[in-house]
Amino acid sequence: MATPSKETRLDLYRMMVRMRKFEKKAYDLFLQNLVKGTSHLSLGQEAISAAFGVVRKKGDLTFATYRGHAHTLATGAPMGPVLAELLGRSNGLMAGKGGSMHLTSVEHGMLGSYAIIGAHLTIANGAAWQAQYKKTKQVTVCFFGDGTTNIGAFHEALTFAAVWNLPVVFVCENNLYMEYTPISAVTPVKNPAADRASAYGMKSIIVDGNDADAMHDVANAAFERARDGGGPSVIEALTYRHGGHSRADPAKYRPQDEVDEWLGRDPIPSYRKRLISAGVKESVLDEIEKEADEEVEAATQFAVAGLAPTPDLIYKDVWADGGWSWRK
């Protein structure tokens, strides 16, 4: 594994810390009854989204699941509007119409968080195909959970991506549970994504999803391969969510020894220790965390100050021509 440069490592740490502090604030606001609808946090999984956020270039495209806050931030979408969207405010990323589960910012190449399991894999293929057709050198990355690997769209998407040699990277965030059920209980192979890759002519790529350096190495290689015309990749990143499936899930179905083991592999404190051992001053890392705290606080003030969406926004983005009045 190639060791990233000091600057890249600091970027990885900065991105992970921003994601962690953002989602902790989002949970705090939920407890205050300010977050509208349900929400799914990726606390503990930040190394995956951070790695791809660092290696992506302007113009690259991202697709995520409903657990997509971190992936949205990784594209460069501003924190204030993202948080305001969770609160359902008009100053949100989508004027409050999308909420936590449908974050989208075309400007930043974030082409959506999707609530329907597996639906976005085929759409990601379409985005990759247009890049291939137009020769733009864009790479599409598509994140999904382990449960998606048993959905028909997973197999259909991988088939066509391989046949058409598309510039797309499929990333399975295997946190061991499909909602409340262990993925191992309903899947005949140990590694639900990687063990099936060979069926589509792709390599089996398994990576420690809690190791930021390892994730960066794998992400960079997959992006370079896709950008150079080498075709698609399937990456299975092994990770663990710190909390339940969603805000209403206490996650009591997980063995306590398993939880303790994975909490001990938290990607952020472990990476902080690695950076310090590599010669990075603690004061530098402290400053990164302080800046993240200040950014989250500013984003919170921006979000809570937003107004509720007005009724006329119901018709916005519904028709391609923007009109609706003549249809009454």
**Homologous superfamily assigned to 6-92+106-306:** Thiamin diphosphate (ThDP)-binding fold, Pyr/PP domains (3.40.50.970)
What is the length of the chain? Answer: 328
What integer pLDDT is reported at residue 36 of this predicted model? 80
- Parallel/antiparallel/unpaired status of strands 140-145 and 168-174: parallel
Tell me: the pLDDT tens digits for 196-219?
A: 999 999 999 999 999 999 999 999
Distance, in Å, from the CA atom of 300 to the CA atom of 29, rounded to the nearest integer, reads: 9
Give the distance, in angstroms, between the CA of residue 227 and the centroid of all CA atoms in the same chain. Answer: 20
Strand partners, 176: none
Lookup: tokens for 188:
């005949």
> What CA dihedral angle connects 119, 123, 125 and 127, to 10 degrees?
-160
> Cα–Cα distances in Å, from 190 out to 31, 101, 110, 261, 314?
37, 29, 31, 19, 45
Where does the pLDDT of residue 5 fall: very low under 50, low under 70, confident under 90, or very high at 90 and above?
Answer: very high
Where does the pLDDT of residue 74 fall: very low under 50, low under 70, confident under 90, or very high at 90 and above?
Answer: very high
Sequence ranges of the domains in the chain:
6-92+106-306
Tell me: the pLDDT tens digits for 211-255?
A: 999 999 999 999 999 999 999 999 999 999 999 998 778 899 999
- Parallel/antiparallel/unpaired status of strands 140-145 and 110-114: unpaired
Name residue 137's amino acid: K
Half-sphere CA count of 100, side-chain side, radius 13 A: 21
Task: Say if residues 62 and 71 touch (Cβ distance below 8 Å).
Answer: yes
Where does the pLDDT of residue 312 fall: very low under 50, low under 70, confident under 90, or very high at 90 and above?
Answer: confident
Q: Could you tell me which residues come within 8 angstroms of residue 279 by beta carbon, excluding any fewer than 6 positions away? A: none
> Cα–Cα distances in Å, from 156 out to 9, 125, 148, 162, 165?
36, 10, 12, 10, 14
Tell me: the pLDDT tens digits for 273-293?
A: 999 999 999 999 999 999 999
Please state the rounded mean pLDDT for residues 41-58.
Answer: 97
* Least confident residue range of 59-68, 121-130, 264-273, 306-315: 306-315
The model scores a pTM over 0.85: yes
- Ranges of beta strands (E only) in 100-204 are 110-114, 140-145, 168-174, 177-178, 181-182
What is the overall mean pLDDT for the chain? Answer: 95
